[in-house]
Amino acid sequence: MPTQPDLATLRRHAVARSLFAPTTLLAAVQRLGGFVQADPLRAPARAQDLTLRHRVKGYRAGDLERRYPRLPLQEDFFINYGFVTPELRVLMHPRTTRRVWDAARWKLAEAVLAEVERLGEAHPADVDAALGHGPVKNWFGGNSRLSTELLDGLHYRGRLDVVRRDSGTRVYRLAQAWEPHPEPQAAMDAMTDALVQKYAPLPASSLSLLIRMLFHGAHQWRDLTPATIARAKARLAHAHVDGIDWYWPADEDPARGWRIPAQVRLLAPFDPVVWDRRRFELLWGWPYRFEAYTPAAKRVRGHYALPLLWRDQVIGWANAGVRGGRLQVDCGYVSGRAPRDAAFRAALDEEMARLAMFLGVAR
């Protein structure tokens, strides 16, 4: 019978199960529940690359974008935007949307679909040049092209696939028609299992929040959320630790003796180990916040501070950048200073070398 875990056991479990031995790109995505979150900011690399570099053998910045057109992966929205496996994507479509397009909007969208069909593979600039839709206000308050907004909306609705990226811009083609899933509750359960596979162990509040976030990926089944939460709590392994219920896959034992290497890792702000800010504060005892959109004068740790993991402890953060072709990293520590032991200094130096190689720059 599994031993009742304590918080230290859950912390080791969280680190070891997510930072598995490096493998192939596709195998790593599958181990991450079939989904890798994407983000356009590059500081010093995009979040998807910073996440995969710890989990894919010989990974270099940009490898996912370069290789995914030849892999069984697609861009789509799950609980947030990223790269998903076909097995996960098929659970979400055909999806409905919170924002319903009226007849006039659909008339414009149908013209976009016709142009994409004519082009075969459509860059937004080519669609806009052909249709001349002009600019609109986007949800950030800035300006974007109406054609681009329609392409995004059609992609979210499952009418378009992203075939590749052209200098970071999505290039589209028509998607095949989707067959509705015959068992909606089974689909919701499967998507929940993907989330648990990626983010466990999870406190109860985070598990419920993640399942509610499936509303974004499978809007048509949002009424199944309460039942999905109850079913997940009934089938997952769990324990009551320090007044909080925690959940993880039923076939895992947090106390099995997970190996934690004496290694430093600089993690992306969206890395599965640190993504859940509730869990982060419970496991490591301090609040980490993503400050890229915080006014500079109000930032505490930096524009794109990377959590600094030493063994199984997140002891600080680092801001990394490339200047003059060379990697520069500034570290900060929760305690106010770096650990003094030689093992940490050597491990930090090794992580700087790995990061520079990943970016293709000098130390």
- Domain parsing of the chain, residue ranges: 103-174, 264-359
Name the more confident of 4 and 272. Answer: 272
Q: Is it the case that residue 184 has pLDDT exceeding 70?
A: yes
pLDDT value for 168: 84
pLDDT value for 258: 84
pLDDT value for 141: 54
pLDDT in tens, 274-331: 999 999 999 999 999 999 999 999 999 999 999 999 999 999 999 999 999 999 999 9
What is the average per-residue pLDDT within 95-99? Answer: 92
**Own/partner pairs for 118-126, CB < 8 Å, 24+ apart?**
120/173, 121/163, 121/164, 121/171, 121/172, 121/173, 122/151, 122/171, 122/172, 122/173, 123/166, 123/169, 123/171, 124/148, 124/151, 124/169, 124/170, 124/172, 125/169
103-174: which CATH architecture? Orthogonal Bundle (1.10)
pTM over 0.85: yes
What is the average per-residue pLDDT within 223-239? Answer: 98
What is the average per-residue pLDDT within 208-222? Answer: 96
Burial 17-28 (b: 16+ CB within 10 A, else e): bbbeeeeebeeb
pLDDT value for 142: 56
Instruction: Enumerate helices (H) and strands (E) in the chain, giving the number of each.
Output: 13, 14
Name the more confident of 144 and 316. Answer: 316
Please give the share of the chain, as a percent, with pLDDT higher than 70. 96
Mean pLDDT, the chain, as a whole number?
Answer: 94
Q: Is it the case that residue 139 has pLDDT exceeding 90?
A: no
What is the average per-residue pLDDT within 25-39? Answer: 97
pLDDT value for 2: 61
Please give the share of the chain, as a percent, with pLDDT higher than 90. 90
